[in-house]
Amino acid sequence: MSTTTPRSASPRTGAEAAPPATHRRGVRGRTLSFWLFTGPFLAGLVIFVYVPIGWSAWLSFFEARSTVTPTEFVGLDNYREMLAAGDFVESLGTFTVFAAIVVPVTWAFSLALALMVNRLRFMRTFFRSVFFLPTACSFVAASLIWKMSIFSGVRFGLANTVLGWFGVENIAWLASPDPPWYWLVIVTVRLWLQSGFYMILFLAALQNIPEELYEAAAIDGARPGWQTFRHITLPQLRATSAAVILLLLVAAYQAFDEFFNLLAKTTWGRPPLVELYYTALGENQDYGRGSAGALILTVLICAVTLLQGRFLGFGRAEEAK
C-alpha cells in the first residue's frame, strides 16, 4: 500500500512573481507621467490664480493705499464704502442692463448663423470659417477699428458716411451719454467678436439632432419652418442654449477691453471692471477697496450664474424615461 506524501507548497517562481512588481512599476510610471504633465499647469494655477485670489481677499480687510503689505485692519469698512459709493453701484446697475441687452442679442444672432450654415449643402466649411474668424481678433484691435474707422465721430467714419447718403448729420457716437449712441458701438463690436464662437457650439448641437425626429414630425403633419423649429429644434438645443447663456452672462460682467478703449477716461459708461481698475490703479491706488469690489463682483457673478442655471436647468440630469 503506497502512501502519498502531501505536496509541500513550493515558493512562487520568478516568472509568477514578476507581474506584481511590474504592475507597481507601471503605476509609479503613470503617476510620474501624470505629475510631469499636470504639475506645471497646477503650479501656474496655484501661483497665478489661487494665491492672488487669497491675497485679494486678505487685502480687502485692510487699509491698503499704495501698498500690498498693509498693517491697519479695517474689517468690513472697504465693503461698506464700495457698496455706498455711487460710481461702483451705478456701474453694477448699468452693466446689468448691458448684460440684459447683449446676452439675448448674441444668443439669437449666433443661433441664426448656425441654422443658416447648417442648411448649406456646399461651401459649409468656408462660411463656418468666415463667421468664426473674428473670434481670433483681439478686443483691443476690434475696438480701435470700431472707434477710428466705422463709428468715428467725423464725416469720414463709415457709419456717418452711410448716414450722410440719406441726409443725416454726423453723429458723435462716443462723445456723450445723451443720447447713448455708445451702446450701439459697444454692442456691435462685442456681437461681431463673439458670435462666431457660439455659432460653432450651436452648429455642433444641430448636427447631433437625429434626422428621425424631423422625419417623424413630417409624417405627423408638422410643417417645415417655424413649427418644426419651435417644437423640435429648439427643445433639442436646450442644454447648449443654457451653456451659451451662462458663458455670455459671465463674459458680459467681465467686459473691460472694449469699454476701456472706446470710452477712454470718461466718467460715464464704465463697467465694474473698469471702475475697479481706476479704483485700484488710479491716483489713490486703493488696493483695499479695489479688492473688496472685486470680491463683491465675484459673489454677484456666482449668484446670477446659479440663479440662471437653476432657471434654465443647466446641469440637471434628464429624467428617466
Reduced to 3 states (helix: H, G, I; strand: E, B; else coil), residue 245 is helix
> What pLDDT is attached to residue 319?
43
Reduced to 3 states (helix: H, G, I; strand: E, B; else coil), residue 257 is helix
- Low-confidence stretches of the chain (pLDDT beneath 70): 1-27, 29, 154, 313-321
- The DSSP line for 149-214 is IIS-SSTTSHHHHHHHHTTPPP--TTT-SSS-THHHHHHHHHHHHHHHHHHHHHHHHHHTS-HHHH
Rounded Cα distance, 292 and 298, in Å: 10
Contact 261, 54 (CB under 8 A): no
Rounded Cα distance, 101 and 271, in Å: 14
Q: Tally the residues of the chain.
A: 321
77 contacts: CB under 8 Å, gap ≥ 6? none
Domain spans in the chain, listed from the N-terminal domain onward = 77-312
> What pLDDT is attached to residue 106?
95
> What pLDDT is attached to residue 302?
86
pLDDT digits (tens, 9 = 90+) for 254-310: 888 888 888 877 777 788 888 888 888 877 788 999 999 999 988 888 888 788 777
At the top level of CATH, which class does the domain 77-312 belong to? mainly alpha
- Indicate the pTM of the whole model: 0.78
> What pLDDT is attached to residue 320?
39
> What pLDDT is attached to residue 84?
86
pLDDT digits (tens, 9 = 90+) for 229-241: 888 888 899 889 9
> What pLDDT is attached to residue 318?
47
